[in-house]
Structure 1
Amino acid sequence: MGHEVLMSVELGHVFVANVNDGKLIDLRIEPVGSDNQDVGRIYLAKVARVVPRLQAAFVNIGENSDGFLGAREARTLLIDADRDTPIEDCVHDGDTVLVQVNRPADGDKGPQLTADISLPGRYAVLTPCRTKVSVSRSIEDDKERQRLIELAETVRDRLGIEGMDGLAGWVLRTAAEGVDNELLEKDMEMIAGIWTDILDKGDDNDPPCLLHQDLGGIERGLRDFIRPDTASVTIQGDAAFRMARSYCQKVMPQAEALIKQGESGEILFDRYDINGTIDKALNPRVDLPSGGWITIETTEAMTTIDVNSGSHSDPALAINLEAVAEIANQIPLRAVGGLIAIDFIDMSDEADGKKIEESLLAAFKDDRVPVRIGQMSNFGVIEMTRKRDRLSLLKSLPTGYFDDPDGEDD
């Protein structure tokens, strides 16, 4: 079966499913249209209030609530800042700043902002606050990495996009592997043009002002989810299908042949029981093959995961390793972010704890967002953090998604 992408538009939302060998590995749900996409927006904004005790600033972006700019995300504004530079050295009340949304608003919490702007294309990402040209760690071939770096440096010199301290940096994405030079150059040129337009718009307007918003759900799904080994992209709905074909023709013509339209009357997400997988991911309890289970519970502060053996006598290490594999499936699928604490079954051998740590690191090696994993404590708990770049699965699902079409709940 290989890798597939399934897209469907329902209840005013775009659903993009990332499927590998018939198994749902990631799901993106967002309102139709780029106007409703928060993450990736770039604003010319004004600092409303610096709060040293929080090591953060509240920033007026012209929306219903101020954005939250933490010290770590603000340090990019100072060329000589280090990890200990306080927020009050980075920004001051009334400052005009260029910021980007990296986490959407959630309830009464405003969006989280960063001054470390990134502008993604299909194959490359412009990082104007940095100077380095780098390549995705997922590209392991040394010759290919060198080819991409040399090409990007050549194009960067020609484009001459200025950053904070010299020419702006670039990152070559995983999708750039094996792509010919002409396509890569066109992608970088397109991104550079967008950045120039952003700066020009910023010069012509006063804060707060929206300068840029990312693509809509269909285009972003194509840009971010299609891989070199993708076998097909199936799209439900005439308008969405036409939009996808048009985007591929303009930006990624080599992928146009992958685009297929779902059959009329087909419920696309019944393939591979995707809807069943989504339904199970809304349940705190997930059963393990051994007969044990994990319980996943999220609060405002953090997510806790408890590993249970039940009445089964399998060795604790074996059940814990099963749990690691399932946790690595569930966390991306549920779009869990922030602080996560995993309480494993007690193990008497310290070496077994190291095996769990190594297994967890390996399981999250290819996660699409940054993950940091700590060591196991004396109490059998591992703490980890995962960047929260979107709302959780539960909060993303539109109301009535699992309602019966005749009006009765399943």
Structure 2
Amino acid sequence: MSEEILINFTPMETRVAVVENGMLQEVYVERAAKLGIVGNIYKGKVVRVLPGMQAAFIDIGLDRAAFIHAADIRSAKEDENKSISYLLREGQSLVVQVTKDPIGSKGARLTTHISIPSRYLVYMPYAEHVGISQRIEDEVERERLKQTVQSQLDQLHEEGEVNVGGFIVRTVAEGAREKDIHKDLLYLRRLWHSLQESMDKAAPATVIYEDLPLYMRILRDLATPEVEKIRIDSRETFHKAQEFVGKLIPEILERIEYYPGERPIFDLYNVEDEIQRALGRKVQLKSGGYLIFDQTEAMTTVDVNTGAYVGHKTLEETIFKTNLEAATAIGRQLRLRNLGGIIILDFIDMEDVEHQRQVLRTLEKVLEKDHVKCKVTGVSELGLVEMTRKRTRESLEQVLCEPCPICQGRGSLKTPETVCYEIFRDILRQHRAYNTDSYLVLASQSVVDKLMDEESDRVAELETFISKTIRFQVEPMYTTEQFDVVLR
């Protein structure tokens, strides 16, 4: 598998594209005016405790207060009372880390279980165990990595260190040298000591630790041995990346390239076109079938349709092939659109149990490539595949778009006919309440056209009924749903 990372940098925003075998798989966008805060550590102040929800709101210096649940708060002893009222009080200072960016109307999500990542390890200062990434499947390698970290921790204990903390060994550590892992471990320990000093001095609602900028996080987290090239279109960012990689990940230094071409870097693999397509509801499949994505605050649904594909064999075979292609496409689209939370997949109904099993297995295999944790819970009684994908940042649509101001995000508008009848009802309402000589209706061109043409008979009937004249005026700035009835 050929994998490349393209980094497009401007002073306003940084965009990163992950391309596998010439196809866009993931997009990351970070704007200078709205930087992501996942991973940042703050000294917060408790502003409100909610016993009924077992949660609290914390001021960390953002526009909206952040949210923490009782389950995400460390307590001194595990068997102590875990009631939020016991754990927190209003006005209390609390060191917290952001686990989810503010999304939509919701504030950031917080935890006190601090974790700090580096290239090979994630340091958990308040934990005591050594964990290994589940993506490392070789048991011999898992044991080697565990012993490598544990031996270093044992040495620190022997030197009199207390509260050494725990570590998770990251996927990228597979095959890493022992000395490089030790170097990472000591770096994280030194960083934590300096952060502890900052915590003591910091005022409430201030940031103590900020994660790296996007392009450095990508280099740290995604530059695996499978990545053949990392291309950067900014000379200054390229030099910073070289310096960063030289210190932290020297083995990938030769894979970083400066891209000076006149053709925009995202045009190399039609990334711009793919991004535009990823903002649409419909995804066309090569077979002629298609997917429909509907994203709501509660969940995302994906509907699979055969479309124009009729196949060459039986209907069951046609459905099976469409569902197989859809499973692969869905896995890619979830990454590309960065859809998270509850996801319901409505595959075309299959009678053959073996076909169902193969489609589910194809989906799971595609999701194994995902950097974000996914869990497929199986097929429900209604034949729907239910799954979850961890949501830590806004989806591509939420980053690049806003709800339509005309339909308010509904995705549909009232017809001119419906608005005409609303106008009639409003005129009747005003006729009963006020005494006037005539009415002036201000509305959009399409509604006025409807009133003057197809609805003209009903307008005449209404004028006779109320014994008043009704006149119409087009307001060019009005949307279809907007109108005013003015007393004259």
Give the TM-score of the pair, scaled to structure 2: 0.75
Deviation at 1:160, TM superposition (A): 5.5
Q: CA deviation at 1:32?
A: 4.2
Where does the alignment leave 5 or more consecutive residues of structure 1 unmatched?
400-410
Find 1:236's aligned residue among 233, 238, 252: 233
CA contact (8 A) 2:202 2:208 kept: no
The structure 1 residue matched to 2:112, chosen from 109, 115, 121, is 115
In the TM superposition, residue 96 of structure 1 has moved relative to its aligned partner by 2.9
Kindly state the Cα deviation for residue 236 of structure 1 after the two structures are TM-superposed: 0.3
The answer on 1:220 being equivalent to 2:217 is yes
Judge conservation of contact 1:18–1:225 (CA < 8 Å) in 2: no
Pair 1:78–1:274, CA change in 2 (3 A): farther
Letter aligned with residue 298 of structure 1: Q
Write out per-residue CA displacement over residues 268-312 of structure 1, whole angstroms, 9 at most, x where no aligned residue. 011122222112111111112221111111112211111112253
Change (3 A) 1:348 1:264: closer
Judge conservation of contact 2:125–2:163 (CA < 8 Å) in 1. no
Deviation at 1:87, TM superposition (A): 4.2
1:37 and 1:216 in contact (8 A); partners too? no
Contact 1:159/1:189 (<8 A) preserved = no
User: 1: CA distance between counterparts of 2:157 and 2:40?
Assistant: 24
1:343 maps onto 2:342 in alignment: no
Residue identity opposite 1:389 in structure 2: T
CA displacement 1:231-265 (0-9 Å, x = unmatched): 11110011111111111122112221111100242
Given that residues 123 and 176 in structure 1 are in contact (C-alpha distance below 8 angstroms), is that contact kept between their aligned partners in structure 2? yes
Relative to structure 1, the CA distance from residue 321 to residue 90 in structure 2 (aligned partners, 3 Å threshold; closer, same or farther) is: farther
Task: Give the structure 1 partner of residue 125 of structure 2.
Answer: 128
Counterpart code for 2:276:
D
The one-letter code matched in structure 1 to 2:39 is G
> Are 1:295 and 2:292 an aligned pair?
yes
Q: For 2:292, what is the secondary structure of its paired residue?
A: strand
Distance 1:88 1:333, change over 3 A: farther
Distance 2:337 2:307 in 1: 24
Conservation of the 8 A alpha-carbon contact between 1:123 and 1:172 = yes
Q: Deviations over 1:332-353 (max 9, x none)?
A: 1111111211122122345544
Deviation at 1:21, TM superposition (A): 1.7
Relative contact order (C-alpha < 8 Å, sep 6+): which is higher? 1
Of the three residues 376, 382, 386, the one matched with 1:379 is 382
Match of 1:51 in 2: 50
1:16 is matched with which residue?
16
**Whole-Å Cα distance in 2 between the matches of residues 113 and 80 of structure 1?**
19
Deviation at 1:81, TM superposition (A): 6.2
Aligned counterparts of 1:96 and 1:281: Cα–Cα separation in 2? 42
Match of 2:90 in 1: 93
8 Å contact kept, 2:119–2:221 = yes
What's 1:281 paired with? 278
The 1-side partners of 2:210 and 2:270 are apart by 33
Is the Cα contact below 8 Å between 1:45 and 1:99 reproduced in 2? Answer: yes
Which residue of structure 2 lines up, in the alignment, with residue 327 of structure 1?
Answer: 330
CA distance in 1, matches of 2:358, 2:85: 43
AA in 2 matched with 1:222: L
Once the two structures are superposed, residues 130-169 of structure 1 have per-residue CA deviations (whole angstroms, 9 ceiling, x without a partner) of 22112212222222222211111122234469xxx95411
- Pairwise CA RMSD: 2.6
SS state of the match for residue 27, structure 1?
A: strand
2:320 maps to what in 1? 317
Find the aligned partners of 1:244 and 1:149 in 2 and give their Cα distance: 30
TM-score, structure 1 length as denominator? 0.88
Relative distance call for 1:87 and 1:365 in structure 2 (3 A) is farther
Is the 1:77–1:115 Cα contact (8 Å) retained in structure 2?
no
* Secondary structure of 1:333 counterpart: helix
Query: Which structure would you say has the larger Rg?
Result: 2
C-alpha change, 1:363 and 1:92, in structure 2 (3 Å) is farther
Match of 2:139 in 1: 142
Q: SS state of the match for residue 268, structure 2? A: helix
2:370 maps to 367
**Which residue of 301, 310, 314 maps to 1:304?**
301
Say whether 1:182 aligns with 2:144.
no
Greater mean alpha carbon deviation, residues 58-67 or residues 141-150:
141-150
Equivalent residue for 2:5? 5
1:58 is matched by which residue type in structure 2? F
Does the CA-based 8 Å contact 2:103-2:393 persist in structure 1?
no
DSSP 3-state at the match of 1:223: helix
Distance across 2 between alignment mates of 1:366 and 1:53: 40
The 10-residue stretch of structure 1 (192-201 or 316-325) with the greater mean CA deviation from structure 2:
316-325
Q: Which residue is equivalent to 2:37?
A: 38
Question: 1:159–1:192: 8 Å Cα contact kept in structure 2?
Answer: no
Distance 2:10 2:301 in 1: 31
Structure 2 unaligned segments of length 5 or more: list them: 403-488
Q: By how many angstroms is 1:4 displaced?
A: 1.3
| Alpha carbons of structure 1 residues 286 and 139: separation in structure 2 relative to 1, 3 Å | same
How far did 1:397 drift? Answer: 3.6
Residue 199 of structure 1 aligns with an amino acid whose one-letter code is: Q
Match of 1:403 in 2: none
